[in-house]
Chains A and B, each alone.
Chain A
Amino acid sequence: MAIVGATAAAAPDAAASRVSARTCYRVAGLTKTYRTGRRRARVEVRANDAIDLDVRRGEIFGLLGPNGAGKSTLVRQLTGLLRPDAGTVELLGHDLVKRPDAAARLVAYLGQDSGALDELTVGLAVETTARLRALDPAAARAARDAVIEELGLGELAERPLKKLSGGQRRLACVAAALVGDRPVLVLDEPTTGMDPVARRAVWSAIDRRRAEHGTTVVLVTHNVIEAETVLDRVAVLDEGRVIACDTPGGLKALVGDEVRLDLVWRTDPPQDDPAVARLACEAVRTGRRWTTRMDPGTARELLAAVTSGPAFDTLDDFTLSTPSLEDVYLALGGRHEGLVKG
């Protein structure tokens, strides 16, 4: 009996240890409230409301939501910048609520602002960051040269960040985040303003780190196309809560097989056309764009009617697409627009 008892007691420990070895971040009950306004007008805003999340080692994990959903507040707690009001954050076995300074020794963080680096040249910004990650001078210079070459920043290396375009400056900040290899990267909208070449350079640099070092990436984005393309799993945030968390494919399966029909009109379409009348009842209108979600058969039928009838003369453009993460967000009860589709 004693042997059986010991085995039974050891088994959960071993299981917990295996789970822990696979987990990068374990977040439970995370709550953060801000007070805004003055005196009588003071209101409390719950930026994060009992958030539970597990981010596995080596995955690219996304936080998706519109502005004000609580993404940046969550990220500031994941990087030790902000102490939660309640809840726990465990990073690779370290309790970040008790020891927020451990984050700086495990995580490379790319925030939204580059103010601290703006007046430095790209090369010096990257080298200084490497020195501040405890690399010695020779190693810092070598790491600087490697990451500048990897991201194709060679021609910009001697130029100050504030003289670069928004996308180039962002790329330089990504270089600073990547230098000095950290096991975890927390990137707040890393590719904002970048051209496609720079975006590809960033994603291939991140992929390389994941393949070679098992780097974990937590990515904040409100760009649904990017989220669908690069993320392994995604948590959808709305008003401080996680309203869903799954793979992009798994989330899209939640909205069933509905498709999305977008119609852009040149002028007002004829209301006496039955297809137009039906679409007019169901569409969400944004300027001259009508957006509807419906089963594929009905969508095809209505599109055929519009494109073959008199309404076609007033039609400027149309798209019929499978559901995106934005559709998932809206179907899950997301109350804000503001996700970017490009």
Chain B
Amino acid sequence: MSQTLGRSSAAGSDAEPLAAATPLWAGLAAVYRAQLSRVRVSRVPLLFVAVFQSVGIMILMRGVVDTGSDSAREAVVAGSSVLVVAFVALNLLAQHFGALRAANALDYYLTLPVRPAAVVLGIAAAYASFTLPGAVVTAVIGALMFQLPLANLWALLLVVPLSGAALAGVGAVCGLLSPRQELATLLGQLGMSAALLLGIIPADRMPMVVEWGRDVLPSSYGVDAFIATYGTPDWAAFGADLAVCAAVGVAMLSLATWAFRRTARG
């Protein structure tokens, strides 16, 4: 056993030594691994439902949008791919944290010597990871349906984790701060609906007010980053959009960690 023993500074001289606290990375890795294993049990909701939904929307949109317009086709495919991320990382994660909180199941983590950041980041990272296969499958099917190139598909390896961090952060905050489980579910659904509506409609066709809504939604930057890889790639825009995702991810995950600590204080 590698446990080292420390002493509480506030404790009396005859106080029992405290067992070691779990280092951040070890805790994060353990939580991530455990969460990732849930795919074995919850494969259908975590992976397939999101793909079916996005592919269904692409089939629907094929009959609606002007397939002669590059921007329209790119917006539909990129929006549908990022929708997979929004469905799992935002919607399902908000529901998961809401359910854990409602059932006092967070007590499990709160009574272990693991840092709140390790728990929040581990769970959020796992949910973001769940979305990668679905996002890739959706992007490939979309590219074949809408005659888009597959050359820069690798960009999803950056788009999914970074937009996943941003959306998982939002989902975790919704789940942890909602006073009731139903509200967490509702917020997750609303967030996903916003990502659906504002993500797959080409930005240049939106009224100004809706465009502002699109600008405050973190998933839009993931969509824009992926759109920037089509045609003649605009890597500067790609980088800038992903930087926004990363910044939102850091902010929201920090807020989620604070919310988790707040839960710990009852």
Contacts and interface: CB of A to CB of B under 8 A. Distances in A.
Interface of A: 17, 20-21, 76, 79-83, 92-95, 98-109, 111-117, 119-121, 124-125, 128-129, 131-136, 139, 160, 162-163, 182-183
B107 A81 contact: yes
Contact of A115 (B19, B21, B100): B100
Contact of B11 (A80, A93, A113): A93
25 contacts: A20-B14, A21-B14, A76-B107, A79-B107, A81-B107, A81-B110, A81-B264, A82-B266, A83-B265, A83-B266, A100-B264, A101-B113, A102-B18, A104-B113, A106-B16, A109-B111, A112-B104, A121-B37, A124-B33, A124-B34, A131-B26, A134-B113, A135-B3, A139-B1, A160-B40
Contact of A111 (B18, B20, B33, B107): B107
B34 A103 contact: no
B111 A107 contact: yes
B15 A133 contact: no
Categorize the interface residue count of chain B.
35 or more
A132 B105 contact: no
B86 to A, nearest CB: 22
A113 B107 contact: yes
A106 B18 contact: yes
A139 B111 contact: no
B107 A109 contact: yes
Nearest to B1: A139
Given A115-B100, A183-B16, A132 B22 contact: yes
B112 interface: yes
A85 to B, nearest CB: 11
Interface string B1-37: 1110000101110111011111100110111011001
Contacts of A124: 33-34, 37
A135 B1 contact: yes
Nearest to B104: A113
A100 B113 CA distance: 11
B31 A133 contact: no
A116 B1 contact: no
A95 B103 CA distance: 28
Contacts, number: 140
B154 interface: no
A120 B38 contact: yes
Nearest to B265: A83
A128 B42 CA distance: 19
A115 B103 CA distance: 7
Task: State the 6 A-B residue pairs at the shortest beta-carbon distance, nearest first.
Answer: A93-B15, A115-B105, A92-B16, A131-B30, A116-B108, A105-B18
B41 interface: yes
Given A95-B11, A135-B2, A163-B41, 8 more contacts: A20-B14, A81-B110, A100-B265, A102-B18, A104-B111, A119-B37, A128-B31, A134-B22
Contact of A134 (B16, B21, B104): B21
Interface of B: 1-3, 8, 10-12, 14-16, 18-23, 26-27, 29-31, 33-34, 37-38, 40-42, 99-100, 103-114, 264-266
A94 B22 contact: no
Contacts of A113: 103-105, 107
Nearest to B2: A136
A116 B33 CA distance: 14
B14 A119 contact: no
B30 A182 contact: no
A163 B38 CA distance: 13
B129 to A, nearest CB: 15
A102 B6 CA distance: 11
Contact of B105 (A76, A116, A128): A116
Contacts of A83: 265-266
Contact of A20 (B1, B12, B27): B12
Contacts of A128: 30-31, 33-34
Contacts of B104: 111-113
Given A81-B107, A116-B105, A139-B2, A132 B14 contact: no
A83 to B, nearest CB: 6
B26 A134 contact: yes
B40 to A, nearest CB: 7
Contacts of B106: 116
Given A120-B34, A134-B22, A134-B113, A17 B14 contact: yes
Nearest to B38: A119
Contacts of B111: 79-81, 103-104, 107-109, 111
B108 A134 contact: no
A163 B22 CA distance: 30
Nearest to A77: B266
A92 B15 contact: yes
A102 B3 contact: no
B105 A131 contact: no
Contact of A119 (B10, B20, B41, B108): B41
A237 to B, nearest CB: 19
A119 B44 CA distance: 13
A132 B114 contact: yes
B81 to A, nearest CB: 26
Contacts of A102: 8, 11, 18
Contacts of A120: 34, 37-38
Nearest to B46: A119
Contacts of A135: 1-3
